[in-house]
Structure formats: structure tokens, C-alpha cells
Amino acid sequence: MALLQISEPGMSTAPHEHRLAAGIDLGTTNSLVAAVRSGEASTLADEKGEHLLPSVVRYLPDGRVVVGSEAKAVEVTDLNNTISSAKRLLGRGIDDIKTLAGRLPYEFADSDSQVPKIHTVAGDISAIEVSAEILKTLKARAENTLGGDLKGVVITVPAYFDDAQRQATKDAARLADLTVYRLLNEPTAAAVAYGLDQDEDFDEKIIAVYDLGGGTFDISILRLNRGVFEVLATGGDSALGGDDFDHIIAEWILQQQGEHASNDPQKLREVLVEARRVKEALSLSDTVNVSINDWSDTFTAEQFAELAEPLVKKTLFACRRALRDADIDKDEVMDVVMVGGSTRMPIIRERVGEFFARPPLVDIDPDKVVAVGAAIQADLLAGNKPDTEMLLLDVIPLSLGLETYGGLVEKVIARNTTIPITRAQEFTTFKDSQNAMTIHVLQGERETVEENRSLAKFTLRDIPPMVAGAARIKVTFQVDADGLLNVTAEEETTGAKSSIEVKPSYGLSDTEIETMITDSMVNAKADMEARKLREQQVEADRTIEALDSAMQSDADTLLSDDERNVLLKAREALVLAKESANTDSIKDAIKAMETAAEFYVARRMDGNIRTAMAGQNIDKFKE
């Protein structure tokens, strides 16, 4: 009799079969692909020996698409058809790009869709399609180098990418015909690459990963313990990166030329290209000559440091917040890993070293470290190292919850919860005979609906008619290893079920991610007061609803006119108290209402007992 071997998805079914897998760093400025060969993870080069693939895509009239250095070489001369920094647009909506549009030299097409598209000779192109072309090029490079078809890949994303941005990344991979084993947070990938968990001198260590790429900034605090990578907290800014440092130099250049801004996209692209060259040159020299057409000047590292200080402070503020979220002091951090090409800037290394009071680790090329870590993880998920013990535990950046009656938010999964995670909570109906419930999924840290971000809505139907509060609605939130959310609602007595996979078509705006957490801290006291008020108003509604329902049912038979008037006056007082928006007044009015209705409640209970006992033989209830 033959035995069938059962294996995990992606795992090799043949004991000695090596499955080809790769790690991909899909970057704002440059992208890379890496793989494990002969036990060593390394980035893969193209036929010219270049490891970095510029994240630039050019669309030609004949339908051809050019990716990488060849496209980058003409980004100034073929402005409208050459797209760079597409990662900044992934998962963003039409409204979100308005804050970026003036800094992006593209012509955005009019569209009914929430997904912004750039007008080119090849048609209107989305950031997802641009990213797919980059992924196709990296896939071809890997398969040519490794000599076979890729079975799967791990693609890295900034830790602060929200659901929309992560989903857009997976959509781009699907367009590129890639099987994604997992989306891996870039800081976690860097920790894997450095092998910091292999330090035998420590059973446990805390590290910080400072990741400043071309378009995004992440700071992650990780605990490493015997192969377990646990992200304690994460923070950053999905719209802050090396591009912003280019822009401050570009603005300086324009000011020196007597311009405070340029409405000419061609001029803006030329200035940005020169600004990037100057920034990179300052990593090797204290003074650099700047030249645009017939104009030239010198630019110093000291000038750059002064201009860049506000941006550097933003990253350090995020570091401070992440440490607070992780409940970690700076002196507990044993290593600081630098990731991203922008960390080559001397001012960044200097200020980060000062902040953590220790020199940061820069041994591995900061451009390659993320791809190398992704390759190691891809090799494990492909089943090529079944005996290796490594567990990656990432966290969600913002709390997830749902709307309850009165516009309040009930958090189901708190931010910085380790993923993957499944968490359920029971809710109930507010009105008698309620047969449906709208589930409104929200993301954020505030106490009321209007202060948080709406992710999705769906309706649970076929709830059996019951009195208010009797139904049991179990709502389950499931966040997978990629940080994507699935929400299910089920009425437990009948099994009626409804669910939704949260795939928003647009992402958070530039400032939302950064400000949502800060706002929750700044407004914590006011939010709690607002929540108490809303809760009392909801309780008032519930009390009024219960009285109205009861009086409609049996007031004519159980109440005299005087008693009815007493209850109606108490009801009117409660309505006025609710409208006063004073928490204590509402609470007092509810108590007064309950006191006034005590005799009525007692009569109804007696009546219900008599109805239930009618026709029954009392002897059968005796022991």
C-alpha cells in the first residue's frame, strides 16, 4: 500500500526536491530580487552585472514597455511616458494624490474609478500596472539566473503599509503572474538578513530597524528570541523618504534661480534629477557643484543638514513613539539596523546614532539587505529548509474595530497586535424583532466613527425576530500573515452568516497614518468624555425604546391615566436630558426614569408569570 505525504501549501512534496523561490524588494527608487543558492542568500544581477533595477517604467507608442536603467536615462526627455516612484501611488485614491500631484510631474487621467491613472501613449496606466512591469522584469531575471520557473516569492512592503497598499502590491504580483508566499515587512526582512537572532551571547535581544527608502520611512522595534522575530511596535510615514530630501534640494535650486516653484514639469524633472545627484554626492564630499543649464552654484553638507533637519526630526519623532508603544527604553535597544539607500546620508547615520546612543549597523549594503532577508524567508516557505526554526511575528499598525449603536467604535483588534490573528466578539440587537444588522468595519485609534477610517460595510440578514438584546451575533476579525483582513458575522442560534474580505480600492492620505495615532493621544481625554456621553445617550435611547414598546403592548390594561402621565413626564425629562449632551444629567434622568417605572415593571413581570403558569399543575414544580 502506498502512503500519501501531506504537506503544507508551498512545501515540497518530494524530500530532496529544491523548489525555486525568490525574495523581491519592490522599492520606490530601486528594486531587487534575491535567492538562496548553495546555502547563501544573495541578490541577482542582470546580464550587465547590475543588481539594482531602477523602479522606472517607460511606455512606448508601439506598445513596448522598457523597465530599469534604459527608462531612467530618458525620464527627463520623455516625461509623460516615463513613470518613477510608482510605489508612492500604490493603494492611494484620487483624493489622496491631490497632495502629491504638484510634486509628481505626470498628467493624471480623468476617471470614474477611485484608482488614479497616469495618461501615457500606451493609455491610462495605474501604479499597480507600473509595479507589475517591474515585478515581471525581476521575475525574468530570477528565472534566467536560477534556470527554472519560480514556484513562489516573498515580496517586502513597508511595515506601515495599510490594507489598501498591501492589496495593491498583491494585485501587481498577480498581474506579473507571480505566486506570493507572503508579504513581509521590510524591517523584519532586514533582521532576518543580519541573522541577529543567532547571537549566542544573548537568549533575547531588542533591536530597532530604521528603514528610510526612496518613498517611505519605517521604524520597527523587534524582540529576537531563539529564532522568533516578534515585532513589538512599528511606526513611520508612508509618504516620507529619500524623494523628499531630493525635493528640499530642488526647492533650494529653484529659489537660487529666483523661482519658488516650477509649473513646468520638464524643468521640475530636470531639477529633481540634479537634486538627487547632489544628495548622493554629499555622502562622499562636503561640497558639491550644482549645475542646471547655464546656472551653477555650490551646495554644502552644512546647508543640506539645515534644510533636512525637519525631515530628520519627523523620523526621530516616529522612533520615540515606537519605543513608547513597545514600552521599551532607548538603552534597552542593543542594535540599530539601517535599511534603505537613503540611510547612506551622513546626517541620517549621525542623528540616529545620537538618538539611540550607539553606532548603527551598516555592514550589509542597505539597498540589498531587505531583498536578502526576503530570499531567506522565501526559501523557508518553499520548504527547502524544513528543519530550520524561524518564526516571524509582525504586527498591525492601526486598531481594527466596528461601529456600535450611537456612532461608537468597539476595537476588536488593538494596534501592534501580532499577526496572523483571529479574534471574535459577540454583539446583539438594539431593537425588538430586528432582523438585519449592518457591520461597519473601521480602522483607527479614536472612540467615535467619524474620527476613524471606514474600511468596509456589509449586512447580516435573516436574524430571527427576538426581543432587543436576545440575539447573539458573533463577529470574527481575521488578519492573515500579509496583514489583510477578513470579517465574518454569524447569528449563533440560526447559523445565518455573512462575510467580507476587506479590499479597499484606495489607501490612507499622506498625513492620515502619521496623525491618527498622535491625534488619539492628544485627544485621549476628550475622546473618553465623548465616549461616556455617547454611551449614556445610547442607554437613554434603549430605556426610551423599552418603555415605548412596553406601553404600546399593555399600558391600557396595566396603567391608570395618572400612572401613564407620571411615566410620560419621566420620559420627557429623559429626552430633554439626552438633548442637553450632559453625561451626568442623562445618567440622573435614566435613574429617575427607572425609579418611576419600578411599579410598572413589577406588574408586567407578575402578569408574565401568571400567563406562563396558566393551565399548569403547581404540584409538578414541587420537589
What would the mean pLDDT of 11-26 be, rounded to a whole number?
Answer: 71
Q: Which domains does the chain have, with CATH numbers?
A: 21-241+306-395 (3.30.420.40), 400-522 (2.60.34.10), 525-613 (1.20.1270.10)
pLDDT for 391 equals 53
pTM of the predicted structure, to 2 decimals? 0.58
- Please write the tens of the pLDDT for every residue from 474-488: 888 888 766 778 888
Orientation angle between helical segments 512-522 and 524-558, nearest 10 degrees: 70
pLDDT for 395 equals 65
Q: Please, which pLDDT band fits residue 140 given cuts at 50, 70 and 90?
A: very high
Is 70 exceeded by the pLDDT of residue 524?
A: no
Kindly give, in sequence order, each residue whose CB lies less than 8 Å from that of residue 371, ignoring residues fewer than 6 positions away: 23, 24, 25, 32, 33, 34, 43, 156, 189
Contact present, 238 and 218 (Cβ < 8 Å): no
Which of 145, 143, 113 is CA-nearest to residue 129? 113
Please indicate whether residue 397 or residue 208 has the higher confidence score (pLDDT): 208
How far apart, in whole angstroms, are the C-alpha atoms of residue 475 and residue 492? 10
Q: Please, which pLDDT band fits residue 15 given cuts at 50, 70 and 90?
A: very low
Is 90 exceeded by the pLDDT of residue 214?
A: no
Is 80 exceeded by the pLDDT of residue 372?
A: yes
How far apart, in whole angstroms, are the C-alpha atoms of residue 564 and residue 547? 11
What would the mean pLDDT of 377-386 be, rounded to a whole number?
Answer: 80
Q: Please, which pLDDT band fits residue 14 given cuts at 50, 70 and 90?
A: very low
Contact present, 116 and 95 (Cβ < 8 Å): no
Is 60 exceeded by the pLDDT of residue 516?
A: no
Q: What percent of the chain has pLDDT over 70?
A: 82
Q: Which of 88-92, 504-508, 580-584 has the lowest mean pLDDT?
A: 504-508
Three-state DSSP class for 209? strand
Is 90 exceeded by the pLDDT of residue 310?
A: yes
Catalytically active residues, by annotation: 25, 87, 186, 211
Which contacts (CB < 8 Å, 24+ apart) does range 550-553 have?
A: 550/600, 550/604
Please indicate whether residue 554 or residue 209 has the higher confidence score (pLDDT): 209
How far apart, in whole angstroms, are the C-alpha atoms of residue 220 and residue 197? 15
- Please write the tens of the pLDDT for every residue from 429-481: 777 778 888 888 888 877 778 777 778 788 888 888 887 777 888 888 888 76
pLDDT for 93 equals 76
What would the mean pLDDT of 53-57 be, rounded to a whole number?
Answer: 94
Q: Cell digits for 422?
A: 483571529
pLDDT for 316 equals 94
pLDDT for 329 equals 93
pLDDT for 486 equals 85
How far apart, in whole angstroms, are the C-alpha atoms of residue 403 and residue 448? 8
What would the mean pLDDT of 502-510 be, rounded to a whole number?
Answer: 44
Is 80 exceeded by the pLDDT of residue 101?
A: no
- Please write the tens of the pLDDT for every residue from 163-200: 778 888 988 998 899 999 888 888 888 888 887 656 66
- Out of 6-15, 78-87, 149-158, 405-414, give the one with best mean pLDDT: 149-158
Is 60 exceeded by the pLDDT of residue 522?
A: no
Orientation angle between helical segments 524-558 and 583-596, nearest 10 degrees: 20
